[in-house]
Structure 1
């Protein structure tokens, strides 16, 4: 394996030699294997491995980024020369710049994050067997006419970041995934659903039999779906889609959107945005969770913090540049790839859970819509006007009466977020830990 720290140092040396005043460099390498099975036989297998290097150079208040997958010294020299030439022609941005040395993280404990599986990686044959077993388990459920996709994959990735301000650090991350998509019915009466699991440690992964069975049971429950009635009613977002609502909140507090004024929460700092008692906590230190990391994309420390505390918005999601533009400090949320400068991005988040089950939420709702799947969206980031295609189940008197599809759910996100009622069913191994959510007063357009 190449020494990524040496590669990033070589890029920084090349940048300085080419005339850069400051620079940072990123090197990413890894391998990935994916296997798809159809009717018990191998349908497709892919393996990829490679390395990507990226260089950002700064000259005054101008910057440019270049990337390559060739690590020869002459290529890195050409990258640096090209980046410096581009930077000299780039427009000035008064807010760009590396972190000051005293802002950089000094100590971190990658081992505590447990991001790397020490066990032997699954072989292609083992991945194929996993996918075939998931497919077989799905087909064994009455009512399943076919399995349209069953696949397994494994990835192993290393990252190293270095900068001319003295920062140098890296880490490794592994992951294994398994998924299944089942179909019931035929022709225009076909319905499909899925289930999948993804874990950093192979031993934590759901069994292929469970993955296939859950995908099939979800699918069979969708047989005979019809359009729901049109009108205003409460909605329960099932746990597997509830995270999308919190995703809209995270987008609205992203420093890039705030700096542009393109967010429905632009005036909400210090104001209630969730119900009293609910907090949205960012935690990049969760062990065995894919969004965890020892430092951000600019070498700054990461820490647990409440983006929303007891319903009140306490801060934005910022990197250095957006923080400077807003007159604030970075929140350690810089994310970047080899070919672009840092941008603010939230990592792992968890929403305060409630004390009741999803079934209890349905009983509290009475009559309304349970959403289990969403497609498409028409969302105005500036006003918060919200409209999305949905499918799921119609509920009357707290009981599911049948599946529904081809409907649209509409409302305003600022109002919706203030009315959330959470269940207690969030999965604790995923990066966005959000339970099922009841929202009152939405408009359903169905049949």
Structure 2
């Protein structure tokens, strides 16, 4: 990883390259231009059954430029940072723009919306890459999982990753900004079996953070992976029925993801969303709040500006259960006749307001129903909101877990599921850019293989 002096030199170099290519684009006839240049390096290490499986060092850099000739757009990229290669990329983008059809929404975001400062969001915590230390973390993690029980019979291994990146964006409004970031991850997956005649189960746990010192303890990650695997042993099917469904906090992030996919500007202007033109409508019960926190210190998705250079800011997407905002970049906002919400490139650090119920209280509220801990497949129709996913988890009776279940499918419609949300727990205990507790849905169809 880079030291401070090296980082300052690289940052200054990337700023200079962006400024030069923007100036060159002007010389070649561009009426406006924008570019992003980035570099990254990292370490990926896997261990399995107490031995190193793979070690990979990564290093990458790339430059992408977009030019506008009037309302015609051209794009080009290069991994060669030589002056000649960069100038060729600019010239290629200009040529492409001259052969494209005009687009009334092609162009830069309003200059007044550009980030005027790049605050320090505490995203950069470099660590000198040390394979021996990383190996020890991964080995400790896997061994802790294998030590939990003799019923842990195999391992898919433990994975450690470390990445450092630096990205600089600039455009012909005169804005050039960039910031470094780091990320670290440790995960473990193990296999369990009750007896040689019984079926096997696997599960995992993980930790992803900005600073190495914030990683969860390797032994805790390993034990959690093993405990989740052991809880799955003896899984059985269910007969087809309707029942309340509790999505674990990790699985509830997928429901939030479906919501955000439906309110993205692209889905709205292409009319490919089950939430088309629903701005201002009640989607959830009045106690539901979902907001974005892009300036969260050490946030896994924090950023001071979006990919249009627009300053990011905290906002509500769902307020008192009402859809309060779409997620728009400059282009999609133009197509919809609205203003950008600084979400070009995606949303950053979603936070779902959590209630008072912990996991045990949620299970009591569920009563008799399905507790979903894993989902499979991509069965979400973004046009209609129809939802059908393979699932595993636990059948709950009288507020207590009765037995694990597998090979089932849960089905419903997202509009109905959102409206019939009964509770959101306070049991968020994992790292992620979406923070939510478990979601309890009043009723869904559960299709099983049993008669």
Normalised TM-score (structure 2): 0.94
2: distance between equivalents of 1:152 and 1:430? 17
Q: Contact conserved, 1:116 with 1:201, CA < 8 A, in 2?
A: yes
2:99 is aligned with 1:89: yes
The alpha-carbon deviation at position 406 of structure 1 amounts to: 1.0
The alpha-carbon deviation at position 122 of structure 1 amounts to: 4.6
2: distance between equivalents of 1:49 and 1:18? 32
Pairing of 1:430-445 with structure 2 (within 5 A): 430-445=432-447
Structure 2 unaligned residues grouped into runs of 5+: 1-5
1: distance between equivalents of 2:128 and 2:321? 43
Question: 2:148 matched to which residue of 1?
Answer: 141
Q: Contact conserved, 1:427 with 1:434, CA < 8 A, in 2?
A: no
Question: 1:23 matched to which residue of 2?
Answer: 33
Q: 2:69 pairs with 59, 63, 78, which one?
A: 59
2:159 is aligned with 1:162: no
Q: Contact conserved, 1:234 with 1:441, CA < 8 A, in 2?
A: yes
Q: Contact conserved, 1:289 with 1:429, CA < 8 A, in 2?
A: no
The alpha-carbon deviation at position 429 of structure 1 amounts to: 5.1
2:402 is aligned with 1:401: yes
Pairing of 1:356-367 with structure 2 (within 5 A): 356-367=357-368
1:16-35: CA deviation from partner (whole Å, max 9, x where unpaired): 23322211110110101010
2: distance between equivalents of 1:196 and 1:383? 34
2: distance between equivalents of 1:11 and 1:50? 20
Pairing of 1:184-199 with structure 2 (within 5 A): 184-185=192-193, 189-199=199-209
The alpha-carbon deviation at position 229 of structure 1 amounts to: 2.3
2: distance between equivalents of 1:353 and 1:53? 41
2: distance between equivalents of 1:5 and 1:85? 25
Q: 2:54 pairs with 44, 58, 63, which one?
A: 44
1:16-56: CA deviation from partner (whole Å, max 9, x where unpaired): 23322211110110101010011211110000112111111
1: distance between equivalents of 2:445 and 2:114? 48
2:182 is aligned with 1:174: yes
2: distance between equivalents of 1:432 and 1:51? 28
Q: Contact conserved, 1:109 with 1:294, CA < 8 A, in 2?
A: yes
2:221 is aligned with 1:220: no
2: distance between equivalents of 1:427 and 1:87? 48
SS of the residue corresponding to residue 256 of structure 1 reads helix
* Structure 1 moving runs of 4+ over 4 Å: none
Question: 2:84 matched to which residue of 1?
Answer: 74
1:150-178: CA deviation from partner (whole Å, max 9, x where unpaired): 11010000010011111100001101100
Q: Contact conserved, 1:25 with 1:161, CA < 8 A, in 2?
A: yes
The alpha-carbon deviation at position 288 of structure 1 amounts to: 1.0
1: distance between equivalents of 2:261 and 2:78? 30
- How many residue pairs get matched? 435
2: distance between equivalents of 1:136 and 1:244? 31
* Cα pair distance change 1:429/1:218, threshold 3 Å: closer
Question: 2:22 matched to which residue of 1?
Answer: 12
Question: 1:115 matched to which residue of 2?
Answer: 123
Question: 1:106 matched to which residue of 2?
Answer: 116
2: distance between equivalents of 1:289 and 1:72? 34
1:369-426: CA deviation from partner (whole Å, max 9, x where unpaired): 1111111022111110100111011111111111111111100001101122101112
Q: Contact conserved, 1:226 with 1:404, CA < 8 A, in 2?
A: yes
2:312 is aligned with 1:302: yes
2:420 is aligned with 1:419: yes
SS of the residue corresponding to residue 390 of structure 1 reads strand
Structure 1 unaligned residues grouped into runs of 5+: 336-344
Q: Contact conserved, 1:200 with 1:289, CA < 8 A, in 2?
A: yes
Q: Which moved more, 1:234-243 or 1:87-96?
A: 87-96
RMSD value, Cα? 1.4
2:383 is aligned with 1:374: no
